[in-house]
Amino acid sequence: MAVALVTGGTRGIGKQIALTLAKNGYDIAINYRTENEELKNLKEQIEQENVKCLTVKGDVSIFEDCENFVKETVDNLGSIDVLVNNAGITKDMLIMRMKKEDFEQVIDVNLVGTFNVTKNVIPYMMKARSGNIVNISSVVGISGNAGQTNYSASKAGIIGFTKSLAKEVASRNIRVNAVAPGFIETSMTDSLKDEIKEEIAKNIPLKRMGKPEDVANVVKFLVSEDSSYITGQVINIDGGMLM
Ligand code: NDP
């Protein structure tokens, strides 16, 4: 059975990716930082799909944590065939008010975290001579966004990382792609006022915010054989916001 490791899988987009891949027959390892009731329910939901579900604790910004939870996954599930680097945070602020720590924290989780997990997973994929990595970037990593110098820099960094790694490991039959979601309804965007959400939706060509399923379905495609000739790409999932 193929194994997928999803970071930050306790809620939102990561949770939906874990569920969707489970429905497609993958054994799932969910990395989490904070244990919550949702995680227990998710594990039960995944196991109802007749696949295994392992939950592995660790902060992606801490290299040793990643070393440990990657090893725990391989020890328990046998391999890692798919890695989805999903864990991410925002700390939005105009640069005039942004503290150095606010910048560093976002880079540490989103970009360095992606490196930390990938660095620990890649030796197994190299040995297996196959693998699939999907990194969750963002449209603001391409377009930029006022108030998000830290976040958009981290997400732009993920795009460069994706393309460079795709070139490094293609000869070993390892594909590396990124997705760039627009506004997706999760706890990350919950704090926006309803009027602001309506205003955002008005300016999206498809006239709605996205759902975690919209992202999970593209990730499912990117890790499947249906996309076997695609690597080093960034796919926008944004209702046409950025063309
Ligand atoms: P949520 O805030 O709903 O979920 C984020 C997840 O990441 C949580 O499970 C969180 O766990 C986990 N996480 C955060 N920091 C760490 C860490 N250091 N180590 C391990 N896990 C961590 O966000 P979304 O589901 O909306 O976002 C998922 C990804 O999609 C992110 O990378 C985000 O940047 C990206 N994205 C989201 C968009 C949106 O509109 N929602 C748009 C574009 C991109 P915990 O409970 O411990 O905080």
Looking at residue 128, its pLDDT comes to 98
Of the chain, the percentage scoring pLDDT greater than 70 comes to: 100
Of all protein residues, the one whose alpha carbon is nearest to atom 46 of ligand 1 is 34
Measured in Å, residue 171 CA sits from the centre of ligand 1 at 31
Q: What is the pLDDT of residues 151-169, one digit of tens each?
A: 999 999 999 999 999 999 9
Spatial separation of the C-alpha atoms in residues 72 and 120, rounded to whole Å:
12
Candidate of 13, 15, 61 to mutate for ligand 1, largest count of ligand atoms within 8 Å of Cβ: 13
Ligand 1 binding residues, C-beta < 6 A:
7-8, 10-14, 31, 33-34, 59-61, 86-89, 109, 113, 136, 138, 181, 183-184, 186-189
pLDDT band at 129 (very low <50, low <70, confident <90, very high): very high
CB-based burial label for 89 (10 Å; 0-12, 13-18, 19+): middle
Q: Which residue has the higher pLDDT, 77 or 190?
A: 77
Looking at residue 192, its pLDDT comes to 85
C-alpha distance from residue 140 to each of 80, 100, 150, 159 (Å): 29, 20, 11, 11
Q: What is the pLDDT of residues 70-97, one digit of tens each?
A: 999 999 999 999 999 999 999 999 999 9
Tell how strand 174-181 and strand 234-237 pair up: parallel
Active site residue 151: yes
Q: Which residue has the higher pLDDT, 34 or 63?
A: 63
For domain 3-237, give the CATH number: 3.40.50.720
Average pLDDT score over residue span 27-47: 95
Return all residues near 75 (Cβ < 8 A) that are at least 6 apart: none
Candidate of 19, 37, 66, 188 to mutate for ligand 1, largest count of ligand atoms within 8 Å of Cβ: 188
Average pLDDT score over residue span 6-20: 97
Torsion sign, CA atoms 56, 3, 82, 237: negative
- Nearest to 37, CA basis, from 10, 62, 69, 16: 10
pLDDT band at 191 (very low <50, low <70, confident <90, very high): confident
For the chain, give the mean pLDDT.
97
pLDDT at 36 over 90: no
Looking at residue 158, its pLDDT comes to 99
Q: What are the sequence ranges of the domains in the chain? A: 3-237
Of all protein residues, the one whose alpha carbon is nearest to atom 38 of ligand 1 is 184
Angle, vertex CA 106, rays to CA 102 and CA 108, nearest 5:
115
Looking at residue 126, its pLDDT comes to 98
